[in-house]
Chains A and B, each alone.
Chain A
Amino acid sequence: MSPIDPEKLNSVLATDCGSTTTKAILIERRGSEYRLIVRGEAPTTVEAPFEDVTRGVLNAIMEVEELAGRKILDGERIITPQKGTEGVDLYISTSSAGGGLQMMVSGVVKSMTGESAQRAALGAGAIVMDVIASNDGRLPHEKIKRIRHLRPDMILLSGGVDGGTTSHVAEMAELLAAADPKARLGAGYELPVIYAGNKDAVGIVKERLGKKVALVITDNLRPVLERENLGPARDKIHDLFMEHVMAHAPGYRKLMTWSPVPIMPTPGAVGLIIETIAREGGIQVIGVDIGGATTDVFSVFQGVFNRTVSANLGMSYSVSNVLAEAGLANILRWVPFEIEERDLRNRIKNKMIRPTTIPQSLEELIIEQAIAREALRLAFEQHKSLAVGLKGVQQERTISDTFEQTQSGETLVRLDQLDLLVGSGGVLSHAPRRAQAALMMLDAFLPEHVTELAVDSIFMMPQLGVLSTVHPRAAKEVFEKDCLIRLGSAVAPVGPGRDGVTALSVTLEMPGGKREELSVPYGYLRLIPLELGETAKATLRPEKGLDVGEGKGRERVVTLKGGVVGLMFDARGRQPFRLPEDRAARIAKLNQWNEALSIYPPRDAAKISEANLRPVEAGA
């Protein structure tokens, strides 16, 4: 295949084969810039009766043809390169169909090489089914049983620093050999196992596993305690994903021949675009994609990229698991009306068994958004616990660090340093009012100080991620102009306060020179409209004990970006953020916040519930 010359790309067709829908986008060069032209979609066809992913891809492309009014297909072939107005210069694709890439990882010490292996697999876009380690508390036969029971697509075996002891790695290899694991797809091929551990144990690992699995050796992902080297293991995961897993999924062999660029696992591609955005803007970013079955969280802090996937937190297939993990009380705390526990439980289960249904009444939408807050919160908690500095590392300290009680393994995710929070996935991207998405993200993530919020309009980050590997500028231009919908900036003082007492005073210099003075009481939320593309110079004066980034009680002058929602001054409290425990007071507070951002049609939460709900008035 000839190398791709970015300068010659005038049109790109990109698809993402999701577990339920295949989405296609057409990007064209218009003048000097690249823009999204149209988007089409069709059901994914990996399952019976079709069992050929290319059918869904062709259907999605046909919709693109119809919408764009141009010919791309010649029968069942994509016309490349573009000739006149026909065809496209490049076709690329990502995939998470058939359950995505499912991996099992193994390390010697769970919190050290085990965690590094987990980060390598997650970063490559995999779902980690289990982490097996010498010290994971399970007996050898329990581990073997577990390995046999899981049928991963791939296993990543790591452990030990280079030059260290080999016996623990040997033990893990022996367990693996004894379990004789089988691959998930296709009984006829050997399970790919990547070894990325102590280089001195390569011989032993080869001897134990060489004949039982498709063994691939790569560089140690933790060559020394103080350093992770995840790149080679991630690259191998991507290679094997193509060679083994995708090649055995129905129709993928054909799909792979359509594109000169390897097909990437969807989350791996999203990670790439987030990394690009953070790097190019020099900013700290969190991205979240809440789907039907899983929720992915991506972050880049201090240049370190992390990704986690919460395999069973989602809004349809996994909605019931959100209830199981968060507990009913945590979901109910976001619902601004009375609802019986039995009724809510049944509604959630009915969504689980009929996952494609959508909320018709406002009451149903409010419940769904309450569940989303908890799914996002839990996924973010998991992310924070995995996106950590290396554990077991002796830290060098200077005199100035002496008074800071930091320890190794602290989370890298610092909400006070976060610049941009990007939400994606149906419940956020398709929320009827953009302010609903903004408030869901504020409630779930509790960003601190000053943070910009955005949503991915139609979830094209996967396609842009893979595009960034061949044409970073085109990917960035489309991301900035067509993908991101900027909601606005949130300002949230950190620290305790008393409800109703002024927490923050603000002077805003609005576009056109108009000045606005604003005072936000503790426990309240205020919205100041500021259009997309506009900025306002804000002088933030937090009260004593509260911090907006310059220290407690200290003034900060900052430029705030507008958006489709505006400027959100969130003085509801951070560290702690607490909802009133009293039921009526809590409902009153929720209604007050909802009204402040005008997230629902006025008073309808009560009105539409007249038949079967008893609305509680504020303060009742």
Chain B
Amino acid sequence: MAHSYTPGLKVTGSTTLRRERKLPLPGDVLVQVGQRVSASDIVARTQLPGNVQAVNVANLLGVLPEDVEEFLTKPVGSHVEKGEVFAESKSFFGLFRSKCHAPVQGSIESVSKVTGQVLLREEPIPVEVDAYVDGTIVEVHPRSGVTVETRGAFIQGIFGVGGETCGELRVSVSGPEAPLEERAFDASSRGKVIVGGAYVTTAVLRKAIAQGVKAVVVGGFDDHDLRQLLGYDLGVAITGSEELGITLIVTEGFGSIPMASRTFELLRSCEGRHVSVSGATQIRAGVQRPEIVAPAADGAGAREGAHDSVEGGLKTGDMVRVIRQPYFGRIGKVTALPPELMPLETEARVRVLEVDFGNGSRTLLPRANVEMIES
């Protein structure tokens, strides 16, 4: 039987991370292997072909499609300005003229003898890729990008919105249970990555956006607030391209949930460091979780081997966190792993484990509903 628990998210004080930074199309790589880069350094650049506009010249000029090319004022491949006449027809001894004006600036790409359409290609769109994390280039992928390596603390969240950013990490709450409040933000918050505790609301996030905060990391967030923040109901968890003016990373889940103390303490130990953050989440094939990367200034880890998640099998004595109602968010120690299928209140028979939540009483939980954390 396959293991039926959710492998925990990575929360580690020191690890070596590699991040591929690739262009969407071939282009130029601007750095070399061994070069030290900071997060905002541009490492590769290219130009995306511009969008295409189709103009039905045959219709506009009232000519046959196969004749359209004769009526172009410039040959295929030429540059045209927006509004410039690029095709015209003359009739009645040149007294009446029909003209086609270029709807965009670009070049004449092609002419169709069948449809009479002329395709105009807009100007190329420059695309740049930055290093994302402070680190060293360890590999150059010719014409496509690089791999950056860094060493430091690494924390994965469960869900995020907003793209990649970076800034100085600041903890703005007294502890993991405390909600993040508006008063945490002032002019000094500009450019920072702010760590909250159990909860944040959209109203508070808006204050953070107004103060120029780069990212907020918090334990829980309400779906109701997410809807307000995005302006729509998020259907499928594929995020990272939202343009919200801020990146939000949720470490525990939806609702008001204290941040796991280990995560909170590790973030606190990184206070003042320049960190890289990505809200991109994809929960499907090729799962991707949001992350906070805190490269160590001296290349060493913050606290060596702090809290790696465990991906092996569950055993008695392991610490687990419950990830579904009715004990959602509680942390306990595994006291037994009965091999047989046991009935739940729903009458479903599933593999279970017995957990002590620290009060001596023992509770049976489906194995599918816990994730492991290292003690």
Most chain B CB inside 10 Å of its own CB: which residue of A317, A323, A363: A317
Q: Contact check, B350 vs A171: say whether CB atoms are below 8 A apart.
A: no
Q: Contact check, A345 vs B224: say whether CB atoms are below 8 A apart.
A: yes
Contact mask A343-378 → B, CB, 8 Å, 1/0? 101111111111111111111110000000000000
CB nearest to B364 among chain A residues: A360
Q: Contact check, A312 vs B236: say whether CB atoms are below 8 A apart.
A: yes
Q: Contact check, B348 vs A432: say whether CB atoms are below 8 A apart.
A: yes
A603, B56: Cα distance in complex, Å: 69
CB contacts (< 8 Å) of B371 on chain A: these are: 354
The answer, yes or no, to whether A141 is at the interface (CB within 8 Å) is yes
Q: Contact check, B325 vs A347: say whether CB atoms are below 8 A apart.
A: yes
A432, B350: Cα distance in complex, Å: 11
CB nearest to B232 among chain A residues: A324
Q: Contact check, B222 vs A324: say whether CB atoms are below 8 A apart.
A: no
Q: Contact check, A360 vs B344: say whether CB atoms are below 8 A apart.
A: yes
Q: Contact check, B2 vs A317: say whether CB atoms are below 8 A apart.
A: no
Q: Contact check, A320 vs B237: say whether CB atoms are below 8 A apart.
A: yes
Q: Contact check, A178 vs B347: say whether CB atoms are below 8 A apart.
A: no
A312, B255: Cα distance in complex, Å: 24
Q: Contact check, B52 vs A140: say whether CB atoms are below 8 A apart.
A: yes
CB contacts (< 8 Å) of A170 on chain B: these are: 112, 114-115
The answer, yes or no, to whether A179 is at the interface (CB within 8 Å) is yes
The answer, yes or no, to whether A167 is at the interface (CB within 8 Å) is yes
The answer, yes or no, to whether B158 is at the interface (CB within 8 Å) is yes
Q: Contact check, A356 vs B6: say whether CB atoms are below 8 A apart.
A: yes
Q: Contact check, B114 vs A323: say whether CB atoms are below 8 A apart.
A: no
Contact mask A321-349 → B, CB, 8 Å, 1/0? 10111000000000000000111011111
The answer, yes or no, to whether B229 is at the interface (CB within 8 Å) is no
CB contacts (< 8 Å) of A321 on chain B: these are: 235-236
B109 to A: closest C-beta gap in Å:
7
- From B2, B227, B345, A361 is in contact (CB under 8 Å) with B345
CB contacts (< 8 Å) of B6 on chain A: these are: 354, 356-357
B260 to A: closest C-beta gap in Å:
14
CB nearest to B144 among chain A residues: A187
- From B53, B235, B255, B345, A325 is in contact (CB under 8 Å) with B235
CB contacts (< 8 Å) of A171 on chain B: these are: 112, 114-115, 117
A98, B254: Cα distance in complex, Å: 28
Contact mask B261-278 → A, CB, 8 Å, 1/0? 000000000000000000
Most chain B CB inside 10 Å of its own CB: which residue of A170, A433, A601: A170
CB nearest to A204 among chain B residues: B114
Known: A140-B54, A346-B254. A358 touches B233 (CB 8 A): no
Secondary structure dominating the interface of A: helix
The answer, yes or no, to whether A72 is at the interface (CB within 8 Å) is no
A430, B348: Cα distance in complex, Å: 8
Q: Contact check, A178 vs B52: say whether CB atoms are below 8 A apart.
A: yes
- From A42, A141, A312, B235 is in contact (CB under 8 Å) with A312
Total interface residues on B, using CB and 8 Å? 55
CB contacts (< 8 Å) of A144 on chain B: these are: 51-52, 54
A608, B115: Cα distance in complex, Å: 68
Total interface residues on A, using CB and 8 Å? 64
CB contacts (< 8 Å) of B366 on chain A: these are: 357-358, 360
Q: Contact check, B368 vs A355: say whether CB atoms are below 8 A apart.
A: no
CB contacts (< 8 Å) of A324 on chain B: these are: 232-235
CB contacts (< 8 Å) of A356 on chain B: these are: 4, 6, 368
Q: Contact check, A359 vs B346: say whether CB atoms are below 8 A apart.
A: yes
The answer, yes or no, to whether A70 is at the interface (CB within 8 Å) is no
A41, B1: Cα distance in complex, Å: 7
Interface residues of A in 23-77 (CB under 8 A from B): 41-43, 46-47, 63
Q: Which of B33-41, B80-88, B128-136, B283-291 forms contacts with chain A?
A: B283-291
The answer, yes or no, to whether B369 is at the interface (CB within 8 Å) is yes
Q: Contact check, B345 vs A357: say whether CB atoms are below 8 A apart.
A: no
The answer, yes or no, to whether A174 is at the interface (CB within 8 Å) is yes
A248 to B: closest C-beta gap in Å:
15
Known: A318-B236, A353-B283. A362 touches B119 (CB 8 A): no
CB contacts (< 8 Å) of B325 on chain A: these are: 347, 360-361, 363-364
The answer, yes or no, to whether B185 is at the interface (CB within 8 Å) is no
Interface residues of B in 64-123 (CB under 8 A from A): 65, 109-110, 112, 114-115, 117, 119
Known: A47-B285, A141-B53, A174-B112. A601 touches B347 (CB 8 A): yes
Q: Contact check, A42 vs B328: say whether CB atoms are below 8 A apart.
A: no
Known: A345-B222, A345-B223. A354 touches B253 (CB 8 A): yes
Contacts A320-B236, A350-B255 given; 9 further ones with Cβ under 8 A?
A43-B2, A141-B51, A144-B51, A178-B110, A342-B223, A358-B350, A359-B324, A360-B344, A364-B326
5 contacts between A and B (CB under 8 A): A174-B54, A312-B235, A317-B236, A320-B235, A360-B326
